[in-house]
Amino acid sequence: MPDIAHQRAVIAPEANADLARRFAHAPAEWRAAVDVRRKQMGLPTLWETRGGVAVAKSSTRPKPLKPKPSPVVSQTRAGIVALCVPGQSSPVACPGDTALLPEVILPGAFNAFLRDVAEGREVVTLEMGHHGTPLASTQDGTLRLRADLVHGLVAEADLFSHPLDRLVQRQIAATAPGMIGVSIMLRDAKWRHEQRNGRTVRVIYEAGLRHVAILLTERSERAAYAKSCVVGIPSMDAAAVKAATNTLVCRASMR
């Protein structure tokens, strides 16, 4: 065995188990010399004698790999609940009506469209700002829409699958209520003009949606429906969603 190999076995910066395995078939005298030299250098020896045979020490033998436990996938889904179009809007236009008028969306206006969404014929996304980053979708079930008998439309969204989602959820949870708004983009709206309190109001009695948008007033984004609001919650279980919806209804009634 060349002397260079002897030197390498003594001082090589490898794991002891790797050294013992590499030189396992070297002559016993050679291995003994390696251990003597390592002991002189204050290094652990590599082999021990069992039944007259030099074998790798238990401390240098590779340890069997323990199976790693399967990661537990949390079933907790953080997310948001939004009250989209309560009350009356500021003056806005809508598809088919370019006049800037206050607007009211009747509670049943989305019923037919929501049935199409539920049956997979229509898809709505939740976006960060109008035409912004998509955060959730009815297509994969991370966005759920339901009609509210009084306030028109409630959106629930799971925000847990992507770091951006979690960042948005934390930002919403940490932001003052008045700094967060929610808006929608209508499509195929059917409307009529009515006189209410001495002014013309557009009343939408049937409509579809292109998307729902979260708006941050710090970005100069303001929802046309000033009473619309959104809240972040750490768990999207039924009780938490119901409590969040009640909170939003109370908040909207006080604005």
| pLDDT (tens digit per residue) in 67-93 | 444 443 344 567 788 888 778 888 998
Share of the chain above pLDDT 90, in %: 22
The stretch 161-171 carries a mean pLDDT of 58
Residue 252, Cα to own-chain centre: how many angstroms? 27
Q: Are residues 16 and 87 in the same domain?
A: no
Q: Are residues 150 and 226 in the same domain?
A: yes
Q: Tell whether 8 is covered by a domain.
A: yes
What Å distances lie between residue 34 and 6, 18, 56, CA to CA? 7, 15, 13
Instruction: Look at residue 206 in the predicted model and tell me its pLDDT.
Output: 93
Residues 6+ apart with CB under 8 A from 57: 16, 20, 44, 45, 46, 47, 48
The stretch 228-250 carries a mean pLDDT of 80
Q: Are residues 109 and 17 in the same domain?
A: no
Q: Are residues 145 and 233 in the same domain?
A: yes
Q: Are residues 101 and 27 in the same domain?
A: no
Q: Tell whether 249 is covered by a domain.
A: yes
What Å distances lie between residue 96 and 99, 152, 167, 177, 203, CA to CA? 9, 21, 37, 33, 13
Q: Tell whether 226 is covered by a domain.
A: yes
Q: Tell whether 61 is covered by a domain.
A: no
Instruction: Look at residue 3 in the predicted model and tell me its pLDDT.
Output: 52
Share of the chain above pLDDT 70, in %: 65
The stretch 199-216 carries a mean pLDDT of 90
Q: Are residues 95 and 219 in the same domain?
A: yes
Q: How far apart are alpha carbons 165 and 126 in whole angstroms?
A: 11
Q: How far apart are alpha carbons 27 and 232 in whole angstroms?
A: 70
Q: Are residues 95 and 158 in the same domain?
A: yes
Structural domain count, the chain: 2
Q: Are residues 109 and 29 in the same domain?
A: no
Which of 108, 113, 99, 112 has the alpha carbon at shortest distance from 185? 113
Strands 199-216 vs 103-105: parallel, antiparallel or unpaired: parallel
Its domain, for residue 15, covers 3-56
Residues 6+ apart with CB under 8 A from 152: 84, 85, 86, 105, 106, 107, 109, 110
Q: How far apart are alpha carbons 61 and 56 in whole angstroms?
A: 6
Range with lowest mean pLDDT among 147-151, 175-179, 248-252: 175-179
Question: pLDDT tens-digit profile of 87-139?
Answer: 888 899 888 888 899 999 988 899 999 999 999 999 999 988 888 888 889 99
Q: Tell whether 46 is covered by a domain.
A: yes
Q: Tell whether 74 is covered by a domain.
A: no
Q: Are residues 46 and 120 in the same domain?
A: no
Overall pTM surpassing 0.85 (yes/no): no
CB 77 within 8 A of CB 236: yes
pLDDT at 165 over 60: no
Q: How far apart are alpha carbons 81 and 241 in whole angstroms?
A: 7
Q: Tell whether 153 is covered by a domain.
A: yes
CB 123 within 8 A of CB 139: yes
pLDDT at 156 over 60: yes
Q: Are residues 51 and 118 in the same domain?
A: no
Q: Tell whether 72 is covered by a domain.
A: no
Q: Are residues 106 and 200 in the same domain?
A: yes
Q: Are residues 168 and 234 in the same domain?
A: yes
